[in-house]
């Protein structure tokens, strides 16, 4: 078999190699292959390593010299709120002055402020804004994301957000997986009748499923938002319909959301800054991924999730960006990785497993992406760095040189490549 594309003169390939979920001490294990190549055919990896790549050459093969830079699998951001209107810099001063995030929400700001803007936005304006943000993510090496709704809080406007996700997945190189999150907050019109809103969420899931607009369902389980029992009600219904389920759990208060997530079989429980030791033990005995979002802690000046204790307790961890307008307004995924290393005390190898194979696993994509492996999609990032540790040491900058998705260059020499 000959290759369409051969990337050669790679200083080092760094890739996960263990079957997911990769947990505990095994998160420190990756493959390093020096003086390497990757051969690609029809968007799929057909070989890689340190051997002879010329056997895959034909007159049509394109050769790409990596110039002794390092190569990683395409990065995966498995928790974003990509599609929304407007911004919330007006709340920044309140947050700096110590006004609690939940108090801003209670007074009609926060999520509800973005809901109003998103409801008033056209689908075209939402698409344009999200497309630009997705470009920024791709420039930083992201090749697949999960994008949640949750800024519509009605069937009409949740559907609008999910349709934008669908449009992006069709028209943008980055793979976009959709999650329905009508249970992100209680809209103003249901302030005094949350039970009816929850019943509407369950009814709306039927239409969302009919339109194939979402792969998963998420709930914000938190004080003043959705309780443990309310979350159980929504997610049990969604699971019985065949959706993958996940939840925002134990972010601000320790409610036992993680334990509920394990009990229900959530693919991930996300945030976990306030998780209890008891729930860490439950996670360690499950296949539910602890999806940690250090950018949110950084922006809100809150405590960081105790990743070190989780990993040392044999939990499988992933790291995500949580890009959103209120608690983590950045598309710089490498900064998120650097925060995971510096503030969550994770090794470079642990972070790599967390943003590739473990992220792919809880999105249900680990048989397609998440590692450099024969038969997987050729989603590859070439980094201008001498080694993996350098990416974390030299922080706050973009190390990406080239990005390949499905065997095609989408970023080359730090410039986006558009198909003509």
Q: What is the pLDDT of residues 168-193, one digit of tens each?
A: 999 999 999 999 999 999 999 999 99
Q: Does 293 lie in the same domain as 373?
A: no
CA–CA separation, 259 and 121 (whole Å)? 37
Q: Does 250 lie in the same domain as 201?
A: yes
Q: Does 229 lie in the same domain as 198?
A: yes
Q: Does 116 lie in the same domain as 59?
A: no
Q: Does 146 lie in the same domain as 15?
A: no
Q: Does 143 lie in the same domain as 114?
A: yes
Report the share of the chain in percent with pLDDT over 90.
94
Q: Does 66 lie in the same domain as 33?
A: yes
CA–CA separation, 314 and 281 (whole Å)? 9
For the segment 222-232, what is each residue's pLDDT rounded down to a tens digit? 999 999 999 99
Q: Does 89 lie in the same domain as 68?
A: no
The yes-or-no verdict on residue 49 having pLDDT over 90 is: yes
The yes-or-no verdict on residue 319 having pLDDT over 70 is: yes
Structural domains counted in the chain = 2
Q: pLDDT at position 420, please?
A: 55
Domain boundary at 362, 390, 407, which? 362
The backbone torsions φ and ψ at residue 412, rounded to the nearest 5 degrees and listed phi first, read: -135, 125
Domain boundary at 325, 344, 362, which? 362
Q: What CATH number does residue 407 fall under? A: 2.30.40.10
The yes-or-no verdict on residue 90 having pLDDT over 90 is: no
Structure tokens at 160: 């609008």
Q: Is 301 left (phi over 0), alpha (psi -120 to 50) or beta?
A: left
Q: Which residues contact 174 (CB under 8 A, 6 or more apart)?
A: 134, 137, 138, 142, 143, 144, 145, 168, 405, 410
For the segment 246-304, what is each residue's pLDDT rounded down to a tens digit? 999 999 999 999 999 999 999 999 999 999 999 999 999 999 999 999 999 999 999 99
Q: Does 316 lie in the same domain as 171?
A: yes
| pLDDT interval class at 91 (50, 70, 90) | confident
Q: What average pLDDT does the segment 325-344 reach?
A: 97
CA–CA separation, 93 and 66 (whole Å)? 45
Q: Does 199 lie in the same domain as 283?
A: yes
Structure tokens at 27: 């998160």
Q: Does 157 lie in the same domain as 271?
A: yes
Any idea what the Cα angle at residue 403 is, between residues 399 and 404, rounded to 5°? 160
Q: How far, rounded to the nearest angstrom, does the alpha carbon of residue 126 sit from its chain's CA centroid?
A: 19
Q: What CATH number does residue 101 fall under? A: 3.20.20.140
Domain boundary at 362, 380, 399, which? 362
Residue 345 domain boundaries: 75-362
Task: Give the up-direction half-sphere exposure of residue 390: CA atoms within 13 A in the CB hemisphere.
Answer: 13
For the segment 401-412, what is each residue's pLDDT rounded down to a tens digit? 999 999 999 999
CB 33 within 8 A of CB 7: no
Which SS3 state, helix, strand or coil, does residue 129 take?
helix
Q: What average pLDDT does the segment 6-12 reach?
A: 98
Q: Does 192 lie in the same domain as 166?
A: yes
């Amino acid at each position: 078999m000959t290759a369409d594309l051969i990337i050669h003169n790679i200083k080092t390939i760094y890739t996960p190699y263990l079957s997911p979920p990769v947990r505990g001490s095994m998160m420190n294990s990756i493959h390093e292959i020096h003086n390497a190549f990757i051969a690609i055919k029809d968007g799929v990896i057909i070989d890689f390593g340190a051997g002879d790549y010329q056997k895959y050459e034909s007159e049509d093969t394109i050769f790409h010299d990596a110039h002794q830079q390092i190569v990683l699998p395409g990065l995966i951001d498995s928790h974003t709120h990509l599609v929304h209107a407007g911004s919330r810099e007006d709340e920044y001063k309140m947050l700096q002055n110590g006004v609690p995030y939940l108090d801003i929400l209670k007074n009609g700001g926060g999520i509800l402020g973005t809901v109003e803007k998103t409801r008033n936005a056209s689908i075209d304006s939402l698409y344009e804004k999200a497309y630009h943000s997705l470009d920024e993510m791709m420039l930083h090496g992201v090749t697949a994301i999960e994008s949640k709704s949750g800024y519509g809080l009605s069937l009409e406007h949740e559907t609008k957000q999910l349709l934008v996700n669908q449009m992006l997945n069709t028209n943008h190189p980055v793979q976009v997986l959709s999650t329905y999150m009508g249970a992100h907050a209680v809209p103003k019109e249901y302030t005094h009748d949350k039970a009816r809103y929850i019943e509407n969420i369950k009814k709306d899931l039927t239409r969302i499923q009919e339109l194939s607009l979402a792969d998963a369902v998420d709930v914000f389980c938190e004080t003043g938002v959705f309780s443990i029992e309310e979350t159980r009600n929504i997610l049990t219904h969604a699971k019985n319909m065949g959706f993958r389920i996940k939840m925002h759990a134990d972010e601000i208060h320790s409610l036992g959301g993680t334990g509920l997530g394990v009990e229900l079989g959530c693919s991930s429980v996300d945030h976990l800054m306030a998780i209890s030791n008891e729930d860490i033990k439950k996670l360690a005995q499950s296949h539910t991924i602890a999806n940690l979002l250090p950018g949110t802690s950084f922006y809100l000046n809150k405590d960081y999730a105790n990743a070190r204790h989780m990993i040392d307790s044999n939990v499988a961890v992933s790291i995500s960006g949580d890009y959103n307008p209120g608690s983590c307004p950045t598309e710089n995924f490498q900064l998120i990785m650097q925060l995971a290393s510096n503030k969550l005390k994770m090794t470079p190898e642990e972070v790599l497993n967390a943003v590739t194979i473990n992220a792919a696993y809880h999105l249900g994509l680990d048989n397609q992406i998440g590692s450099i492996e024969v038969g997987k999609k050729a989603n590859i990032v070439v980094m201008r760095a001498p080694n993996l540790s350098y990416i974390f040491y030299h922080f706050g900058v973009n190390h990406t040189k080239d990005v390949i998705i499905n065997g095609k260059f989408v970023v080359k020499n730090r410039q986006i490549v558009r198909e003509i």
